């Protein structure tokens, strides 16, 4: 009888160990399933985003083609765009030279004063109305400041 009870307790211990092992595997499987679910949701979102990206890229291509066609057909607009890019490059080049100058702070001060001024002077060129007052005020202030700085520096 003792032997039967001993075997029964031993089987019960083995069953308990197996049960714990299975519970551990079930827990691992649940965690893996949850991670797979999160991964699936992330992939679905990425696929939707990629789909929207492809759609927007195609839209950009069509818009670019249309803009290119219209600009090509309008010589004036084409010339303005070229002039715009050239002017933008010139501004960047001049800005780099100003930044490298020993008098960069003085120039920044003059530009700051210039930007605060609100008087406007317009020049009509065909159908375009240009505000030229900033350029005139800037030039005036720049010449005045540089002259003053030069004269002070020579003393």
| pLDDT tens track, the chain, 155 positions | 667 788 888 888 888 988 899 999 999 999 999 999 999 999 999 999 999 999 999 999 999 888 888 888 888 888 888 888 898 898 889 888 888 888 888 777 777 766 665 556 666 777 777 777 767 667 777 777 766 666 666 55
| 80 and 150 together in one domain | yes
Count other C-beta atoms under 10 Å from residue 17's C-beta: 10
Residue where one domain finishes, among candidates 49, 73, 97 = 73
Q: How many CB atoms lie within 10 A of CB 100?
A: 8
Which range of residues forms the domain containing residue 10?
1-73
Q: Is pTM, for the whole model, over 0.85?
A: no
Task: Please indicate, yes or no, whether residues 146 and 105 belong to a single structural domain of this protein.
Answer: yes
Token pair of 114 as six digits: 């210039």
Cβ-proximal residues to 141 (8 Å cutoff; 6+ apart), any chain: 110, 113, 114
- Enumerate long-range contacts of 97-106, CB under 8 Å, 24 or more apart: 103/146, 103/149, 106/145, 106/146, 106/149
Q: Which one of 73, 95, 126 terminates a domain?
A: 73
Strands 122-125 and 128-131: antiparallel
Whole-number Cα distances in Å, 96 to 70, 75, 89, 109: 34, 32, 11, 16
**Overall domain count for the chain:** 2
Same domain, 3 and 64: yes
Residues 135 and 149 in one domain: yes
């Amino acid at each position: 009888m003792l032997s039967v009870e001993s075997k029964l307790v031993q089987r019960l211990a083995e069953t308990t160990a197996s049960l714990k092992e299975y519970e551990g595997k079930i827990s691992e499987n649940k965690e893996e399933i949850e991670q797979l679910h999160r991964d699936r949701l992330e992939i679905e979102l990425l696929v939707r985003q990629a789909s929207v990206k492809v759609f927007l890229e195609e839209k950009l291509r069509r818009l670019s083609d249309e803009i290119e066609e219209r600009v090509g057909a309008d010589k004036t607009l084409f010339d303005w765009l070229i002039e715009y890019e050239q002017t933008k490059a010139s501004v960047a080049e001049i800005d780099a030279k100003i930044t490298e100058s020993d008098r960069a702070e003085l120039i920044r001060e003059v530009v700051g004063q210039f930007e605060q001024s609100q008087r406007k002077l317009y020049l009509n060129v065909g159908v375009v109305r240009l505000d030229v007052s900033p350029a005139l005020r800037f030039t005036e202030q720049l010449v005045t400041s540089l002259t003053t700085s030069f004269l002070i520096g020579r003393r």
